[in-house]
Chain A
Amino acid sequence: MDNYSLGFHSETDKYQYIAPKGLSREVVISISNQKGEPDWMLEIRLAALAKFEEMPIPEWGADLTGINWEDMHYYLKSVEKPYTNWAEVPESVRRVFEEIGVPEAEREYLAGVGGQYDSEVIYHSLKEALAKSGVIFLSMDEGLKQYPEIVKKHFGKIVPYGDNKLAALNTAVWSGGSFVYIPKGVVVDLPLQAYFRINAENAGQFERTLIVAEEGSSVHYVEGCSAPAYSSASLHAAVVEVVVEKEAKVRYTTVQNWYKNVYNLVTKRAMVAKDARMEWVDCNLGSKVTMKYPSCILAGKRAHGEMLSIAVAGVGQQLDAGAKMIHLAPNTTSRIISKSISQNGGRSSYRGQVKITPKATYARSKVVCDALIMDDLSRSDTYPNNQIMTGDATLEHEAYVSKVGEEQLLYLMGKGMTEAEAQTMIIRGFLEPITAELPLEYAVELNRLVKLEMVGSVG
């Protein structure tokens, strides 16, 4: 565990406001007031809070009994509003992001970058040419201020607060996240990147992201996450809604490396129109518990949904991840490739649903689950739920469970590699079909993280 290199934290006395522990109407009203939101948003928040209190804690997936709901700060404000000039960001916060490498990444290859520190987005920038073509990349809070009509049109439409308990919680106390709007026909070549950091102890982070890609547009959004090495649990419950309009294309890439005390319970869903394409690329390395099933609602003819995921579960980790593909229209297609590695007693599960409704004639879907189990302490489970309600659809489901081949290890060690080096190489090879899809810098980072995990596990 202590190969985690992002486990440092910055002093918390710099906060402008820290909500008292626990969740109440007062906390929700205080968040909304501090943000100066329109009344309709406060109404949604309060309705969502009531729903949250009414809904039971889900018991069908990972073990959530370790979350102490009352002993948590639901809102922490570090800065008044996001900075657009890196030099203005307070030094204590800037240092954290510099350690993580965020500003360098921006200089090199990104179209825009955002950084969230606990509850608030503290930094945002977008390349000028993109801003001129009408691209919007703001914190969700700023998005709501500047474009209330767009936010109101889409907010909670794809993921309503009644969807699940954590979506209700997020809707009640959401803060931060990204608001991305790509106008008709605009192709954003370079990725937009957001970086999420939980800094405070016993803190929850509830960012809310909305991406709207208009007809024929294209964008790649990348997010990374990390947190300090505290012993008590933190909670990350995000909601992401993606609107992919006709012939548009969105790719959403996540490299999740929370510290192993974070409960990561995320609802991500995309609505995909005719001839549009949505791709989720989801890499889960960190967290204590993850429950995440990015979904595509394939609503228009020939819409395509894709999910490429990696989960690496080590000691004390339970990664319950998967995908949902809901086919609502004819000739829609989807593909899910889920790769997991379990080691040192880690547990990874694939939980996925492919639903092909009666209207989705000639729909096609392919699901491949590929699990690698490193030792006898570790576990991997697959819970597929496939429903086909039309006779002319095709669904292929393949599941493989394998162990690192002794022969492969011996072959590589015979070339002079140590057992750990050989194992790392085999695992990187196993993950290659997914890492090949990542932006180069993320692929390098992922390989580095996989190496750290393996070094911790061998010998």
Chain B
Amino acid sequence: MSVVLKITGLSASISGKRVLNKINTNLLSSQIMAIIGVNGGGKSSLAQVLLGNQEYNVSEGEIFYNNTDLLKLSVDERAKAGLYVAWQNPVTIPGVTVFALCKAAYEASGQKIESLSDFKHKLEALATEVGLTVSHIGRFVNDGFSGGEKKRLELLQILLLKPKLVVLDEIDSGLDKLGREIIIKVVKKLKDLGSSFIIISHYEQLIEKLEAEIVLEMKNGQLLPRIS
């Protein structure tokens, strides 16, 4: 198994406040890393730094993703290289349909759409798989979606794009038991295809069910082995 992600001595701040403090960790292909910890500990900050959010200032350290210096890539280059970050609060984009978003994301990932109607059927099948309805494909992105529907739309995109490294930031919040079962199904399916995951969650049972190989705790910007 190859190293997908290698973080060394990573520190970052936002608005002058230090939120990540000398983080070190490794993740291999087909591995699941779970990160737990109290709110404000730095979990979402790590997700946003991986995404490439420029509001975060990385003051020291390195992130290598499949031997590429991730910090040198722009947000879209990271996505094109197979990184997917599912936000804790996905944004609403009025006037842009789920179909248009998925089509653009799919093409950006380097895949070709031969037939638009086939692609639409594919999205409809995925919608059903993650517990959305076919009509969601024609709706505007997250516009009037419930919290759970927003999360399901992220899962749909993950199934569609099959990213190599997926960061799930509190994907389970807003989802019920059935929704959590869908998360487990999606993660296992992609893990079998070789994808790696960083899962940020408060929900212990979910982490157990996912059989995460690595469980870490984020506290005061530091990533520590979990003390059980």
Q: A residues touching B (Cβ–Cβ < 8 Å)?
A: 405, 407-408, 410-419, 421-422, 425-426, 428-433
B109 touches A416 (CB 8 A): yes
Q: Which of A419, A425, A430, A432 contacts B104 (CB 8 A)?
A: A425
Since A415-B108, A421-B108, A430-B94 are in contact, a sample of 11 more A-B pairs with Cβ atoms closer than 8 Å, ordered by chain A residue number, is: A405-B91, A408-B91, A408-B93, A410-B53, A414-B87, A416-B104, A417-B104, A419-B76, A428-B95, A429-B94, A430-B95
When C-beta atoms are compared, the residue in chain A nearest to B109 turns out to be A416
B101 touches A415 (CB 8 A): yes
B86 to chain A, nearest CB (A): 9
| Contacts known (A410-B51, A432-B95); A418 close to B140, Cβ less than 8 A | no
Chain A residues within 8 Å of B75, by CB: 410, 413-414
A47 to chain B, nearest CB (A): 48
In whole angstroms, how far apart are the Cα atoms of A411 and B84 in the complex?
A: 11
Interface size class of B (residues with CB under 8 A): 20 to 34
B4 contacts partner chain A, Cβ-Cβ < 8 Å: no
B111-125 interface with A by 8 A CB criterion: none
B80 touches A416 (CB 8 A): yes
A416 touches B91 (CB 8 A): no
B105 contacts partner chain A, Cβ-Cβ < 8 Å: yes
B111 to chain A, nearest CB (A): 11
| Contacts known (A425-B100, A429-B140); A416 close to B94, Cβ less than 8 A | no
Q: Which of A405, A418, A432 contacts B76 (CB 8 A)?
A: A418
In whole angstroms, how far apart are the Cα atoms of A422 and B51 in the complex?
A: 16
When C-beta atoms are compared, the residue in chain A nearest to B80 turns out to be A416
Q: Which of B74, B90, B101 contacts A413 (CB 8 A)?
A: B74
Chain B residues within 8 Å of A421, by CB: 104, 108
B12 to chain A, nearest CB (A): 16
Chain A residues within 8 Å of B108, by CB: 415-417, 421
Q: Which of B53, B78, B85, B95 contacts A433 (CB 8 A)?
A: B95
B192 to chain A, nearest CB (A): 23
| Contacts known (A411-B91, A413-B75, A417-B105); A426 close to B51, Cβ less than 8 A | no
Residue with the greatest number of chain B CB neighbours at <10 A, chosen from A405, A407, A411, A415 = A415
B64-92 interface with A by 8 A CB criterion: 74-76, 78-80, 84-85, 87, 90-91
A383 to chain B, nearest CB (A): 26
B94 touches A413 (CB 8 A): no
20 contacts between A and B (CB under 8 A): A405-B91, A408-B91, A411-B90, A411-B93, A412-B93, A412-B101, A413-B76, A413-B79, A414-B51, A414-B75, A414-B87, A416-B104, A416-B108, A421-B108, A422-B76, A425-B104, A426-B96, A428-B95, A432-B94, A432-B96
A340 to chain B, nearest CB (A): 15
B93 touches A414 (CB 8 A): no
Chain B residues within 8 Å of A415, by CB: 79, 101, 104-105, 108, 157
When C-beta atoms are compared, the residue in chain B nearest to A425 turns out to be B96
A428 to chain B, nearest CB (A): 7
A407 touches B91 (CB 8 A): yes
Chain B residues within 8 Å of A417, by CB: 76, 104-105, 108
A416 touches B95 (CB 8 A): no
Chain A residues within 8 Å of B93, by CB: 408, 411-412, 425-426, 429
| Contacts known (A431-B95, A433-B95); A414 close to B104, Cβ less than 8 A | no
Residue with the greatest number of chain B CB neighbours at <10 A, chosen from A414, A417, A422, A430 = A414
In whole angstroms, how far apart are the Cα atoms of A411 and B80 in the complex?
A: 14
When C-beta atoms are compared, the residue in chain A nearest to B79 turns out to be A416
Residue with the greatest number of chain A CB neighbours at <10 A, chosen from B75, B85, B105 = B75
When C-beta atoms are compared, the residue in chain B nearest to A409 turns out to be B75
In whole angstroms, how far apart are the Cα atoms of A414 and B53 in the complex?
A: 9
Chain A residues within 8 Å of B91, by CB: 405, 407-408, 411
Chain A residues within 8 Å of B52, by CB: 413-414
Of all A-B residue pairs in the complex, the 8 with the closest CB atoms, nearest first, are: A429-B95, A416-B108, A432-B95, A416-B79, A429-B96, A415-B105, A413-B75, A413-B76
In whole angstroms, how far apart are the Cα atoms of A310 and B74 in the complex?
A: 33
| Contacts known (A421-B104, A425-B104, A429-B140); A414 close to B79, Cβ less than 8 A | yes
